Structure 1
Amino acid sequence: MTGNYDDLETRDPEARIADLAEALPRAIARAKAAPALARLLQEVEPGQVTDHAALAHLPVIRKAELSTAQKEYPPFGGYTTRSPAEFDLIFQSPGPIYEPGRHERDWWRLGRFLHASGIGRGDIVQNCFSYHLTPAGMMFDSGARAVGAAVLPAGTGQTDLQVQAAVDIGSTCYAGTPDFLKVILDRADELGLHLSITRAVVGGGALFPSLRQGYADRGIVTRQCYATADLGNIAYESDALDGMIVDEGVIVEIVRPGTGDPVPDGEVGEIVVTSLNPDYPLIRFATGDLSAVMPGISSCGRTNMRIRGWLGRADQTTKIKGMFVRPEQVAVLIARHPEITRARIIAEREGEMDLMTVQIEAQQGDPNVYAGSVVDTLKLKGRIEIVPPGSLPNDGKVIEDRRSYD
């Protein structure tokens, strides 16, 4: 599609900062209308949270906390500003975790992604995300309707029926996981049938370069987004293919795993998202996924922050010598010593025994200086190595398990 979805995505960066200074206090104030968030933010004055720096001082909410709260205060744990009956939709994701939904306003904001992917009026979207209990089907359904496209609510599986439907109604676009489209295409080939699909919008799994190229070889342009059931659309690709552009309805931070501390731009860390959704205003919600901020703006003209996409999981909790070592323990070790820039725990095997090595980025120093802190914070003894600042890999890992489980 030509043109922008709206004026928000091409704002001057300074205008976006000014708009954020107004939007953030409103979001915090709305969040305090949700019982669980009111307790979490009781000491926070909304008018003082006007930028990323102020936001970084607020506590991080983790999925496990949401799950626990939902057991105590079903179904949404006190994190919504509406009662369950005031929502149009209620979903159950594995866990179980319950998520709300509404029909109005393209509630999950997938329309911006579909527009950037060239989908709009005249298109028929074969939506192969599940409509059963989990929200992905409705998320993409809502986005397709927001751009004026027709929808075949195909759901998952039933490959032969999927192929026949695509042929009979002339589906022009596929929505679903990256790999299921190949299943449909291969079956169509076996049946000698031609599909009219020329665009694919995917999520919920890795879009490997070889798979994207395979679709391109068949004349299908494939674009991916990063979205979750809790937050809706977080970031998406445009035809520029130069990273993933952060959606206008969320604020994204990249923090050091196990903490809420932002990392420098370019460094890999955990994605933390603040949603501006007034019905479900999650504040600093940790996704558990890794990414990094990219410099500059997209060549497509959209001016919001870009991230590198999904780079793995932040939850690196590892059992060593029968004890769990967690990323937040590594963060405590770093905090005890201001001269440490980064640290990394490596788990290996030596004979039939676990071996833990603690690599510490610091200017010259005696490893023995850190021995007591290592035992205090990690509850284990290990070998300590001092390495030069900037020498540890920029992959977001603070715990690396090198043991073979074959």
Structure 2
Amino acid sequence: MTDFYDALETRDPAQREADLLAALPRQIAHAQAAAPAFATLLNGIDATQVTSREALAKLPVIRKSELLERQKQLRASDPFGGFSAIARGPAMLRVFASPGTIYEPEGATRDYWRTARALHAAGFRSGELLHNSFSYHMTPAGAILENGAHALGCTVFPGGTGQSEQQVEAMAELRPDGYIGTPSFLRILLEKAAAMNVALPSLTKALLSGEAFPPSLRDWLAERGIDGKQCYATADLGLIAYETSAREGLVLDEGVILEIVRPGTGDPVPEGEVGEVVVTTFNRDYPLVRFGTGDLSAVLPGHCPTGRTNTRIKGWMGRADQTTKVRGMFVHPGQVATVLKRFPEVLRARLVVEGEMADDRMTLKVEAASSAMAAQVAEAMRDVTKLRCTVEVVAPGSLPNDGKVIEDARSYK
């Protein structure tokens, strides 16, 4: 089979739904038995009765903020907050940290995050070399795609982030078949290669994630001979959806049940209406049930023209909460609060994220009587968020009194 990763992608939709709903009660029972957090959160739920989407919709939505709070409460005894069903040792290969700080386990199963399917849809095949520019330090993005690449039979160059000149040199000498990483960093690498007068003829395809991938950047890559496709994945859930050659939305992964709910609730919205993406996975090691991503999307009608029969979504359409993704990293309102606790002279603050794709800029506007601490605040923001930030001191009382901590003012044209 060359067009599809496996036969699951072309199942009759009714059969897929029956298969998922048949597996759902077993997964919920497993979560209750093996993950202490779900023993509490789903206390009193009879897993054998959760055999429909209507029954699933009655369960609570577990949002990232709640997962983070439970992890914080149990740091001393269980850094995973009771959500992991495996313990340190052979079953847990690595532990990663995402901003917040949220800790995620990596199990030992093949294609743990299920990203081989997305790589296959993007045109990658066994025996090829992939240049991976996702981060390999602390956060799991590099491992998420490397894990899938190895399952697909590919070799990976772990480029990581930064050091653009050295990465261009490696690309020129190793001649990778494609790139995996954020779209903005791929553009930086191509611009660096042009400035160095270095040709990269082997680079013809890319699987991109971690941030929005607007049509303008897709066309810019195509002009340079690169077919860029995107996938939607998170450290908690693994692959959620992926783009195909049809470029008509993102097709759901075969290992998830996705719901679109009204933000702030667990109530599913009608098909086509924009709402928060809520996902249940069948990962036995980290069995998240009705996990609210905080991302906005909507279900598209019909099926993919490629012949894949799973549901499609429009892709990432913004955030349902104030948590914002900047250069592939989540920035939380809680991180801003952590910084402000270090500077009692700051009365209020608002983090404004501006710019266009590949040019994200963060400005922290702080109300204070003096600008003497601006440099120290900027340094603290970089320490906490791992991202550079400009600090602008404004007069007390000048920021809007609307409760907003993070304002995403970027253009996604």
Structure 1 length as normaliser, TM-score?
0.77
- Note if contact 1:20-1:51 (Cα within 8 Å) is conserved in structure 2: no
Q: Distance in 2 between matches of 1:122 and 1:21?
A: 36
Q: Which residue pairs with 1:178 in the alignment? A: 183
Q: Which residue pairs with 1:55 in the alignment? A: 56
User: Which runs of 5 or more residues in structure 1 are unaligned?
Assistant: 323-351, 357-400
- AA partner of residue 135 (structure 1): P
- Confirm whether residue 155 of structure 1 aligns to residue 160 of structure 2: yes
- Confirm whether residue 298 of structure 1 aligns to residue 304 of structure 2: yes
Q: Which residue pairs with 2:207 in the alignment? A: 201
- Confirm whether residue 252 of structure 1 aligns to residue 253 of structure 2: no
- Note if contact 1:25-1:48 (Cα within 8 Å) is conserved in structure 2: yes
- Note if contact 2:251-2:311 (Cα within 8 Å) is conserved in structure 1: yes
Q: Distance in 2 between matches of 1:77 and 1:222?
A: 37
- Confirm whether residue 232 of structure 1 aligns to residue 238 of structure 2: yes
Q: Distance in 2 between matches of 1:79 and 1:230?
A: 10
Q: Which residue pairs with 2:85 in the alignment? A: 81
CA positional deviation for 1:175: 0.5
Q: Which residue pairs with 1:29 in the alignment? A: 29
Deviations 1:251-280 (A, max 9, x none): 110000000000000000000011110110
Q: Which residue pairs with 2:136 in the alignment? A: 131
- Note if contact 1:130-1:155 (Cα within 8 Å) is conserved in structure 2: yes
SS in structure 1 of the partner of residue 222 of structure 2: helix
Q: Which residue pairs with 1:91 in the alignment? A: 96
Q: Which residue pairs with 1:363 in the alignment? A: none
Q: Which residue pairs with 1:40 in the alignment? A: 41
Give the 3 Å change call, closer, same or farther, for CA 210–84 of structure 1 in structure 2.
same
Q: Distance in 1 between matches of 2:156 and 2:290?
A: 33
CA positional deviation for 1:90: 0.2
**Structural mapping, 1:305-324, within 5 Å:** 305-315=311-321
Q: Distance in 1 between matches of 2:136 and 2:271?
A: 37
Q: Which residue pairs with 2:69 in the alignment? A: 68
Q: Distance in 2 between matches of 1:353 and 1:210?
A: 33
- Note if contact 2:96-2:140 (Cα within 8 Å) is conserved in structure 1: yes
Q: Which residue pairs with 1:107 in the alignment? A: 112
- Note if contact 1:109-1:232 (Cα within 8 Å) is conserved in structure 2: yes
Give the 3 Å change call, closer, same or farther, for CA 188–316 of structure 1 in structure 2.
closer
SS in structure 2 of the partner of residue 104 of structure 1: coil
Q: Which residue pairs with 1:3 in the alignment? A: 3
Give the 3 Å change call, closer, same or farther, for CA 71–299 of structure 1 in structure 2.
same
**How many residues end up aligned between the 2 structures?**
328
- AA partner of residue 39 (structure 2): A
Q: Distance in 2 between matches of 1:78 and 1:84?
A: 13
Q: Distance in 1 between matches of 2:109 and 2:48?
A: 28
Give the 3 Å change call, closer, same or farther, for CA 116–354 of structure 1 in structure 2.
closer
CA positional deviation for 1:48: 0.8
CA positional deviation for 1:193: 1.4
SS in structure 2 of the partner of residue 106 of structure 1: coil
Aligned partner (choices 174, 186, 210) of residue 169 of structure 1? 174
User: Which runs of 5 or more residues in structure 2 are unaligned?
Assistant: 324-332, 334-347, 349-397
Aligned partner (choices 268, 274, 281) of residue 268 of structure 1? 274
- AA partner of residue 31 (structure 2): A
When the two chains are superposed, the root-mean-square deviation of aligned CA atoms in Å is 2.3
Q: Distance in 2 between matches of 1:161 and 1:353?
A: 43
- Confirm whether residue 241 of structure 1 aligns to residue 247 of structure 2: yes
- AA partner of residue 267 (structure 1): E
- Note if contact 2:31-2:85 (Cα within 8 Å) is conserved in structure 1: yes
Q: Which residue pairs with 2:366 in the alignment? A: none
Q: Which runs of 4+ in 1 moved over 3 A?
A: 352-356
Q: Distance in 1 between matches of 2:47 and 2:160?
A: 42
- Note if contact 1:75-1:84 (Cα within 8 Å) is conserved in structure 2: no
SS in structure 2 of the partner of residue 278 of structure 1: coil
Deviations 1:295-340 (A, max 9, x none): 111111111111100111111699xxx9xxxxxxxxxxxxxxxxxx
Q: Distance in 2 between matches of 1:56 and 1:240?
A: 31
SS in structure 1 of the partner of residue 219 of structure 2: helix
CA positional deviation for 1:59: 0.4
- Note if contact 2:107-2:285 (Cα within 8 Å) is conserved in structure 1: no
Give the 3 Å change call, closer, same or farther, for CA 209–78 of structure 1 in structure 2.
same
- AA partner of residue 112 (structure 1): R
Q: Which residue pairs with 1:372 in the alignment? A: none
Q: Distance in 1 between matches of 2:208 and 2:17?
A: 30
CA positional deviation for 1:2: 2.6
Aligned partner (choices 280, 283, 294) of residue 288 of structure 1? 294
Structure 2 length as normaliser, TM-score?
0.76
- Note if contact 2:222-2:228 (Cα within 8 Å) is conserved in structure 1: yes
SS in structure 2 of the partner of residue 297 of structure 1: coil
**Which stretch has the larger CA shift, 112-121 or 187-196?**
187-196
SS in structure 1 of the partner of residue 232 of structure 2: strand
Q: Which has the higher Rg, Structure 1 or Structure 2?
A: 1
Q: Distance in 2 between matches of 1:184 and 1:233?
A: 25
CA positional deviation for 1:21: 2.4
Aligned partner (choices 275, 281, 284) of residue 278 of structure 1? 284
SS in structure 1 of the partner of residue 110 of structure 2: helix
